[in-house]
Amino acid sequence: MEEKQLVSSFCLCARIMPLNLYLCPMQILDGKIASQAVKEKLKSTVAHLVAEGKRPPHLAVIIVGNNGASETYVASKVKNCAEIGFGSTLIRLDNDVPESVLLQQIETLNNDPAIDGILVQLPLPKHISEPKVIETISADKDVDGFHPVSVGKLVQGLPTFVPATPYGIMLMLEYYQISTKGKHAVIIGRSNIVGRPMSILLSSSHAYGNCTVTVCHSHTPNLKEFCLQADILVAALGKPEFVTADMVKPGAIVIDVGITRVADATAAKGFKIKGDVAFEQVAPLTTAITPVPGGVGLMTIAGLLQNTLQAYLNKFN
């Protein structure tokens, strides 16, 4: 705690110094550590449930086709369920599966009392309507938080499933006790999956909200000006290393949501994972920053697991 205060006062002084003339002590917001803490707590909750003779929460995951990134995400979700004692069911459908078959599969899971959460891995093949698929998932099992009912309740401040990535970011802010009240958060990106829900969460009235929030996007002509105002900068536009040092206010907190595979012949897999922030040049300016990989990505799974537990608990309350 003492160390954190030292960092704060140093940065306060730093703000009145000219840009780039100093290096600010900076904290890495480590997704591995923060997600592990969430998972340990979940594991202990499951152990208690099972000790009481109850069944553990159960997540069903549907994957359509065999997109490389989707395969990785789905495998990780199943593995994480196992680690904390959740049950999971993985359902694989061919890339050319008719939409009606997918919808029927979802209905079956909706009606199965042994399934608490349902997740259909996106993106889906072009012949399938994503909104239709999302609306078919029962709102009570919508652990991805993409159903209109979940989104509407999020906006209205009612109990709901928060989309996994924004939820993961909030869990990270909570883990590192990052104060947000009254700060100016600038969000680059207005997607339904990240930018939009983040803008709602950070500007709403709760412990890690109450920010003034600015939403920037592809039609923002003077993006750099807005970024330079940010006490908290959330980069969620999906352009590798887009945010450079000249766009960041000294002392800012930077949350990097980007995960892009960039071809790299020197890497064993032929690609490297890059975030939306040019980490090496930006990090020294910040008070705190999430790395990529090892930052927000790991928190997404923590958010999903929390939602699955919540769906389970809602059934019995």
Please list the active-site residues. Answer: 77, 121, 144
Which of 11-19, 151-159, 166-174, 302-310 is the region at the interface with a copy of itself (rule: CB under 8 A)?
151-159
Residue reference for tokens 């969620």 = 236
Judged by CB under 8 A, the residue of 35, 88, 150, 300 near a copy of itself is 150
Extended strands (E) in the chain: 27-28, 58-64, 87-93, 117-120, 184-188, 212-216, 232-235, 253-256, 260-263, 271-274, 288-289
Q: 234: burial class by Cβ within 10 Å (0-12, 13-18, 19+)?
A: buried
71's tokens: 């395969």
Strand, coil or helix: what is 288? strand
Q: Map residues 47-86 to x or -, x wherever contact with a copy of itself holds by CB under 8 A.
A: ----------------------------------------
Q: What is the C-alpha to C-alpha distance for residues 62 and 91, in angstroms, rounded to an integer?
A: 5
Give residues 156-195 in contact with a copy of itself (rule: CB under 8 A). 156-158, 181-182, 190, 192
Which of 169, 171, 174, 209 minimizes the C-alpha distance to 193?
A: 169
Q: What is the C-alpha to C-alpha distance for residues 14 and 214, in angstroms, rounded to an integer?
A: 24
Which of 62-70, 111-119, 209-217, 232-240 is the region at the interface with a copy of itself (rule: CB under 8 A)?
209-217
269 lies in the binding site for a copy of itself (CB under 8 A): no
Name, in order, each residue with C-beta under 8 angstroms of 198's C-beta and a sequence gap of 6 or more: 166, 169, 187, 234, 236
Of the pair 38, 134, the CB lying nearest a copy of itself is at: 134
- Secondary-structure percent of the chain, ordered helix, strand, coil, rounded to 5: 45, 15, 40
Of the pair 134, 283, the CB lying nearest a copy of itself is at: 134
Determine the residue type at 195.
G
196 lies in the binding site for a copy of itself (CB under 8 A): yes
151 lies in the binding site for a copy of itself (CB under 8 A): yes
Judged by CB under 8 A, the residue of 27, 138, 220, 281 near a copy of itself is 220
Of the pair 110, 210, the CB lying nearest a copy of itself is at: 210
Judged by CB under 8 A, the residue of 68, 98, 152, 270 near a copy of itself is 152
Which of 253, 313, 314 minimizes the C-alpha distance to 285?
A: 253
Q: Taking the complex as a whole, how short is the minimal distance between the CB of residue 266 and a copy of itself, in angstroms?
A: 38
Of the pair 218, 266, the CB lying nearest a copy of itself is at: 218
Judged by CB under 8 A, the residue of 4, 92, 217, 224 near a copy of itself is 217
Binding site for a copy of itself (CB under 8 A): 131, 147-153, 155-158, 181-182, 190, 192, 196, 199-200, 203-205, 210-217, 219-221, 226
